[in-house]
A and B are shown apart, each in its own frame.
Chain A
Amino acid sequence: MQTANGNNPAAGDAMIAIEGLTKHFGPFTAVGGISFSVSRGEVLGFLGPNGAGKSTTMKMITGFLSPSAGRASVCGHDVVADQLAAQRMLGYLPEGAPAYGDMTPLAFLKFIARVRALKGAAADKAIADAVAATELQGVLEQPIDTLSKGFRRRVGLAQAILHNPPVLIMDEPTDGLDPNQKHEVRKLIARMAADKAIIISTHILEEVDAICTRALIIDRGRVVADGTPAELIARSRYHNAVSLTVGGQVTIAAAEALKALPGISSIEINPRGTETTFTLFPVQQNAISAEVKLIDAVADLAREKDWTVRALYGEPGRLDEVFRKLTRSDTADAPGKNAA
């Protein structure tokens, strides 16, 4: 697991620092004063429902939108007062990977290289490296408009990493890619992660577990959770629950027998086709030893009762459940409620 890195960011090495960043569009508050920082070596997953303010925050960091209030800096350069210096330090993949459709990827990357002050051999090498990293070799001479969605996304990625920036900001980098391409892009991000500060926004929760060292969940323009993926998963009510799937008809007796096991607070029964899944919630939710003990007890019981066990495992927790819990404003976890 990469999540171990996230617990231990090099102190004082914040490459992206954001304080009370706010954006109003007329009466609507898209981002309501969020603060966080990202250090070298961190991959921050930016999560939230549509319209939560993820893209708006990224647009403010990259200089496309001006903040209504608050501050953001990239490598110590304020994104408003010292915008060009901040922009030189970052690579940005905007949502939907826009590019100049009438250009070929090669001409487009040459344009970016010129803007990024890369010349001659350095520019050629940077373009060759970015093309190799994003596997664009086959389409370099085709107009970008004629490329598939996956290739266009990769052109956008190549553009973002061309100057090997210390800070990378990517808005849904794997959106619209097929599973193989997603895998490649994740590998690419993981390769670059060690010496960069990276922010990616995503809807795909598995991605957070796969590449992020830290996850930030925002809802209605506010940060509602900030932690390693493991910490977020631990907030799930399924964390350390035990799941047992048995074949055949379920009997009330089976449920009663499971419920009678020591250390169980509640039980969920979920019949599906010819099998039934029982989810057992332990009393002590945060003790991994209790979970192991419970699995042993369930296994013993299954042997004793001669059930056809199809699956038996301890659940790490479910990120999608945590996500739903945190981003529904009527739950106790919503910050608005706590503040009120």
Chain B
Amino acid sequence: MRELLAVFRRELGGYFATPLAFIFIVIFLFTMGAFTFYMGGYFESGQADLQIFFNFHPWLYLFLIPAISMRLWAEERRTGSIELLLSLPIPLWAAVLGKFLAAWVFSGIALALTFPMWITVNYLGHPDNGVILAGYIGSFFMAGGYLAIGSCLSATTRNQVIAFVVSVVVCFLFTVSGLPLVTDFFASWAPQQVLNTIASFSFLTHFTAITQGVIDIRDIIYFFSLIASWLIACGVVVDMKKAG
């Protein structure tokens, strides 16, 4: 636990030691705002809720979250500091989890800084704040899912660009697996059971359910098991690289 905290603190501090954190947060807030107000037609919709705002999250995360996760392990491999990290008395799970949690908390901070949106809707009308809270929780879990995928893929390479691109592709597949784009491909030949299974992997399906204000335990289990599976895979990748 001590080692986990040490890694977590170092990683989180690492975001703020460079302009990276500030640049990321500014771009995150700017694109969130731009998409909601301009592309989403927030004011024209005439509704005092954040549904439009949350609808863009999966698509923005698709690019913004791999930008956080790409450096988690690839950067350590490139600079060689991974040799230091893995020769320190830190259990592998603590290193994997510490890095992930730092990235997750960082993305949580960026998400929390969108609070002016919440103030705006409350100023304009009387939204259901419970639904908005659920939206934020769902968005936070979804960010965790993307980060876990990105973390695992970052461990496979020393090149951050490769880590970014592969993460975007894999995250995209997980996002859209419930949409016709993917299901149509399987619909003609796969049994319905397989189709349902593939669709059930979709971030969108689970995220949309949560943003509608229904926090179903199955959606929470989905995100937790997705995060856990990818982090275990991340640990396996790091361990396999030790074998050369």
Contacts and interface: CB of A to CB of B under 8 A. Distances in A.
B81 A87 contact: no
Q: Which of B13, B83, B84, B87 has the most chain A CB atoms inside 10 A of its CB? A: B87
A112 B10 CA distance: 10
Interface residues of B, number: 26
B134 to A, nearest CB: 36
Interface stretch (A62-70, A197-205, A268-276, A290-298): A62-70
Contacts of B10: 100, 103, 111
B242 A66 contact: yes
B191 interface: no
B60 interface: no
For the residues of B in contact with A, the DSSP-based class is helix
B3 A115 contact: yes
Interface stretch (A1-9, A37-45, A91-99): A91-99
Interface stretch (B88-96, B106-114, B123-131, B203-211): B88-96
A98 B2 contact: no
Contacts of B86: 63-64
Contact of A103 (B2, B17, B80, B83): B17
B87 A94 contact: yes
Contacts of B87: 59, 62-64, 87, 90, 92, 94
B73 to A, nearest CB: 13
A88 to B, nearest CB: 5
A114 B2 contact: yes
Nearest to A102: B17
B14 interface: yes
Interface string A77-110: 0000000110110101011101111110001000
Nearest to B88: A115
B14 A94 contact: no
B34 interface: no
Given A25-B244, A84-B91, A87-B89, A99 B83 contact: no
A291 to B, nearest CB: 47
B2 A23 contact: no
A84 B2 contact: no
B5 interface: yes
A274 B6 CA distance: 66
A115 B89 contact: yes
Interface in B63-108: 79-84, 86-91
Interface in A7-66: 23-26, 59, 62-66
Contact of B14 (A63, A88, A100, A117): A100
A327 interface: no
Nearest to B243: A66
A125 interface: no
A140 to B, nearest CB: 15
Nearest to A156: B84
A280 B207 CA distance: 87
Nearest to A103: B17
Interface of A: 23-26, 59, 62-66, 68, 84-85, 87-88, 90, 92, 94-96, 98-103, 107, 111-112, 114-117, 143, 159
26 contacts: A23-B244, A24-B244, A26-B244, A64-B82, A64-B83, A65-B243, A66-B242, A84-B89, A85-B89, A94-B83, A96-B80, A98-B81, A98-B83, A99-B84, A100-B81, A103-B13, A103-B14, A107-B13, A111-B6, A112-B88, A114-B5, A115-B88, A116-B88, A117-B2, A143-B17, A159-B84
Interface of B: 2-3, 5-7, 9-10, 13-14, 17-18, 79-84, 86-91, 242-244
The 3 A-B residue pairs whose C-beta atoms are closest, nearest first, are: A98-B80, A114-B6, A87-B89
